Copies of this chain bind each other. A is one copy, B any other.
């Protein structure tokens, strides 16, 4: 109970059991919404996406005011400038996420797509069609734009979504979800297509990821710790996303000017994202020429090089420190890179197998055989020849906004868009067919 003089901004914190019931009740409402969404036509869903985008633009003041509250709370709590920047919304950023909804509206409806089909020799008609998963939970950190992206992708793929955002973005997420829910209702679709879960207690994550039978999939988006905790403790299906210990291998037959551009772009374009390169491997045949050049460029760009012995010998000095064993396994997410020299393509592939996280691995080479060996033998969500690792991204791959990048092998691998938010079912039509004894 709150005292009469207080006007709490949040409801009083729920007890453990109350919180569990809150999460399960939300999941129950999501299931009801999902039944309706599974049958919604493309036209209906696209109209709702347009209504959501329009509402975000027309109610931007409300969203920005809520965001300002989060920013004030964050500044008072001493959040770093980087975190505050991730949290901050502007009219332009809100317009950007609204545009994202329109992009999703333009994508084909994945639901009811026929994946395989035909008529069996006995005359049975068989089709495997895409269907929504049902209820999808997303556990994510600061950025409020994820709230809108996830809602849009879920709606278009016919799923209801349970959003468990960061407490630092609570007001922003509440404002965004209020806008989206009103637009859904105005379009004649269930408000409970999009729901925000309580975010002040880690326990709400636990209740979400153990709601077996109510929740069909939970996708964690955030740091490695969050992802590991969700995947290990969940009893509902989960998809591991986003840990990217990505490599660029510069082959003996590389065009070194091209290699330099690709390595720098892979490392420095946005060091904090999962598709940034964390290790550079250079073939010994070109190391003498390439290592000093690339280290010089890294120095200029403010990148600290963690070099092996040969790198230190070729290009020691300012901005270069000795690599430890741990460096080969580190996802820096910062202006750091591990650099090593290898004696062969095989050694590079072996190093990547031992240390890679299965996200994105690139080779720079002019040698067709080396490129084909690399793409065939490296086991990762994306293997790239003569291009930056930064392209592994749902938007770049033409999926519209992405809901995460899967680094696991089952169900989805790489950027996850609409298709990855679906399951399938077999639809069989007969005319009194019965099966003979075998």
Chain A residues near B (Cβ < 8 Å): 35, 38-39, 118, 120, 124, 126, 128, 131, 133-134, 216-217, 232, 235, 237, 239, 255, 258, 261-262, 264-265, 269, 371, 375-377, 379-388, 390-392, 396-398, 408-411, 413-414, 423-435, 437
Contacts and interface: CB of A to CB of B under 8 A. Distances in A.
Nearest to A263: B434
Contact of A397 (B126, B133, B390, B396): B126
B425 A381 contact: yes
A365 to B, nearest CB: 11
A426 B381 contact: yes
A426 B390 contact: no
A262 B435 CA distance: 9
A392 B427 CA distance: 10
Nearest to A428: B384
Indicate how many identical chains form the complex.
2
A125 to B, nearest CB: 9
A264 B435 CA distance: 11
Contacts of A383: 425-428
Contacts of A432: 255, 258, 261-262, 386-387
A264 B388 CA distance: 61
B397 A430 contact: no
Residue with the greatest number of chain B CB neighbours at <10 A, chosen from A133, A379, A380, A437? A379
A169 to B, nearest CB: 21
Contacts of A134: 379, 409
Contact of A237 (B381, B408, B423): B408
A410 B423 contact: yes
A410 B409 contact: no
A371 B126 CA distance: 14
B237 A433 contact: no
Contacts of A414: 128, 424-426
15 contacts: A124-B387, A124-B391, A216-B410, A217-B409, A382-B426, A383-B426, A383-B427, A385-B430, A387-B431, A387-B434, A390-B434, A391-B430, A391-B433, A413-B423, A413-B424
A428 B255 contact: no
A386 B262 contact: no
B409 A423 contact: yes
A43 B396 CA distance: 36
Contact of A385 (B120, B232, B262, B428): B428
Contacts of A425: 379-383, 413-414
Q: Which 5 A-B pairs have the closest CB atoms?
A: A387-B430, A265-B434, A409-B423, A387-B433, A258-B432
A235 B232 contact: yes
A194 to B, nearest CB: 21
Given A383-B427, A425-B379, A434-B387, A410 B120 contact: no
A386 B237 contact: no
Contact of A431 (B118, B377, B386): B386
Given A216-B409, A396-B120, A414-B425, A434 B261 contact: yes
Nearest to A232: B235
A301 B376 CA distance: 56
Contacts of A408: 237
Given A371-B429, A387-B429, A413-B426, 14 more contacts: A35-B377, A128-B414, A133-B410, A134-B379, A217-B410, A237-B408, A264-B434, A382-B425, A383-B428, A386-B431, A396-B435, A409-B423, A410-B410, A414-B426
Given A131-B379, A410-B423, A387 B428 contact: yes
A376 to B, nearest CB: 6
Residue with the greatest number of chain B CB neighbours at <10 A, chosen from A217, A261, A396? A396
A402 to B, nearest CB: 13
A16 B431 CA distance: 56
A410 to B, nearest CB: 4
A382 B264 CA distance: 50
Given A237-B410, A410-B411, A392 B131 contact: no
Residue with the greatest number of chain B CB neighbours at <10 A, chosen from A255, A388, A424, A433? A433
